[in-house]
Each structure stands twice: as structure tokens, then as C-alpha cells.
Amino acid sequence: MNVMTPEGYVAADGRRIGPVLMEMKNITLRFGGVKAITDISFEIREGEIRAIIGPNGAGKSSMLNVISGFYVPQEGEVWFRGAKRPPMKPYQVARQGIARTFQNIALFDGMSVLDNIMTGRLTLMRSGLLSQAIWWGGAEKEETAHREKVEKIIDFLEIQNIRKTPVGRLPYGLKKRVELARALAAEPKLLLLDEPMAGMNVEEKEDMCRFILDVNDEFGTTIALIEHDMGVVMDLSDRVVVMDYGKKIGDGTPDEVRSNPDVINAYLGVAHE
């Protein structure tokens, strides 16, 4: 990594990374007496691919849930696009331009692939109940305009042939892809991916990596992802946050993190005298 300035830095592959998009300041999250996250601070910059890694139970998913507004931390502040975020409901956070996928797929099984992806655009659709009931005119026009955008995403993720299939019938790898499509349909500023490659075979993983890189490259979407496959994390991400037992034990480029003694301890254990 080159020199870090407030305006950003130049990533290892030469991409220009912008200023801070989201900043977590001293976040602490407790469930009763259990501290899931202890005093963690880090930032995500525009255009960056930021990974959060750590052993099981380290608090990675809790961190993602804090970002997406599902958990409200007891202490600390969340800053998004230069402003402190007041306490918000998850659907309000979604409207700010944060979309996510889930560790165990959370698609709407009763709906077709197309409808699932269209739900991703809910936050961008405006027509009211009455105009939708009448359909002709406003609602139909809006629907068609959004359908065009969705079709671009369908082309992009190469799922044209399953467009009308009910999601419940799809295999696991495709479901993950549809979920990514749904998140992309919202045209998010920040895309959160919770273990996008869990349970996939090598080929599916490679596809998914390609899509993540393409999304970042073509749409300029900032991406924060949690992943267990170290090879994937080190190849994809610009910077990595390492968590263990709810604390941050490392933060930096993949190379820095790899040589951090605390990180090595957490992952490999340390010899006791």
C-alpha cells in the first residue's frame, strides 16, 4: 500500500481508493453480559474491498449486523458519508444505500428469481398504492424502467436462463448468486457480503470472486466482506480487519496482516512454555 492520505491511497493493483465512506468509532456491542464486540474502530473507504476475518465466534457477523442496522451497539458511533448515523431501523439503513447478503441465504422462496431481484429495487420505487392498483400509466412505466435495470444485472451475473424459476427450486450456488443480484439491484453505495463463498466448490468460488471484482470495478461499489477462505480474502481485498473474541487484533493490507504476530497466534495458536 502506498501512503494513506485523507483523500485515499493507491491500492496494490493501482486502483485509486477514495476518502472514508463509513467509519466505525469505538463500537461495543453486548448481549446481556456477553460482549460480542469490544471497542472496535475501523473505516471503509470508497471503492475499496474490505475484508473482515477472524475465527468462529469472533464477532464478524455481529459487526456486519451493526453496519446494516440490525443490531444497535451500546457504545460507539457509526459514521456514514461524513455524517454520524442516528439510531435507525434496518429498512432506513437500506434506503441510505447499504445492501447486504446473508450467511445462510435469505431469499424469498415463494417468488421467482426475477421478482426476488426486483425486491432489491424496492427502495428506489416510488409509485403509490392507488397508482399500482390502476397499473396503467405510472406503475407500469416504473415497473418496466426498473425491469430494464434488473435485466442488466441478470445479464451481468449470467442467470438469464433461470429468470422465471421459483427460487426454492435452485441449487445452492445459484441461490448465492441470486442473492448477490438482489443486493446489487439496490445500486448500493456499500455492499456487505456475509460469507459469499461458504459451501461452494472451487469453480463456484472462482465465479463468485470474478463477480465481486467485476462489481467493484464496473460499478465502483465499495464492498465489505466476511470470508473464511484465506486464499480468497488475501487475493480479493485491499485491506483486512482481523477480529478475535470481539476485539480487533489486526488491520492493514493482506501482507501486513499475514505477518502480524497476533493474527498468527489467533489462527495457529501459540506455543506455551
The binding site for other proteins (CB under 8 A) comprises 68-70, 89-91, 93-95, 99-100, 102, 106-111, 115, 118-120, 122-123, 125, 127, 129, 132-135, 139-140, 142-144, 147-148, 151, 182-183, 186
Residue type, 198: A
Nearest to 248 by CA among 266, 228, 230: 266
- Whether residue 75 contacts residue 28, with contact meaning beta carbons closer than 8 Å, is answered with yes
> In terms of DSSP bridges, do strands 98-100 and 9-10 run parallel, antiparallel, or are they unpaired?
unpaired
CB closer to other proteins, 112 vs 237: 112
Contacts of 256 (CB under 8 A, 6+ apart): 1, 250
> In the complex, what is the shortest distance from the CB of residue 261 to other proteins, in angstroms, rounded to a whole number?
37
Cα–Cα distances in Å, from 199 out to 95, 153, 159, 219, 245? 30, 23, 19, 27, 24
> In the complex, what is the shortest distance from the CB of residue 224 to other proteins, in angstroms, rounded to a whole number?
15
CB closer to other proteins, 23 vs 115: 115
CB closer to other proteins, 135 vs 172: 135
CB closer to other proteins, 148 vs 203: 148
> In the complex, what is the shortest distance from the CB of residue 80 to other proteins, in angstroms, rounded to a whole number?
15
CA torsion 73→91→18→14, rounded to 10°? 100
Nearest to 237 by CA among 28, 42, 27: 42
Q: Is 174 left (phi over 0), alpha (psi -120 to 50) or beta?
A: alpha
Distance of CA 169 to the CA centre of its chain: 25
CB closer to other proteins, 100 vs 248: 100
CB closer to other proteins, 18 vs 138: 138
> In the complex, what is the shortest distance from the CB of residue 264 to other proteins, in angstroms, rounded to a whole number?
35
> In the complex, what is the shortest distance from the CB of residue 106 to other proteins, in angstroms, rounded to a whole number?
4
How far apart are alpha carbons 273 and 256 in whole angstroms? 27
CB closer to other proteins, 45 vs 182: 182
> In the complex, what is the shortest distance from the CB of residue 15 to other proteins, in angstroms, rounded to a whole number?
28
> In the complex, what is the shortest distance from the CB of residue 169 to other proteins, in angstroms, rounded to a whole number?
12
How far apart are alpha carbons 189 and 64 in whole angstroms? 15
> In terms of DSSP bridges, do strands 222-226 and 49-53 run parallel, antiparallel, or are they unpaired?
parallel
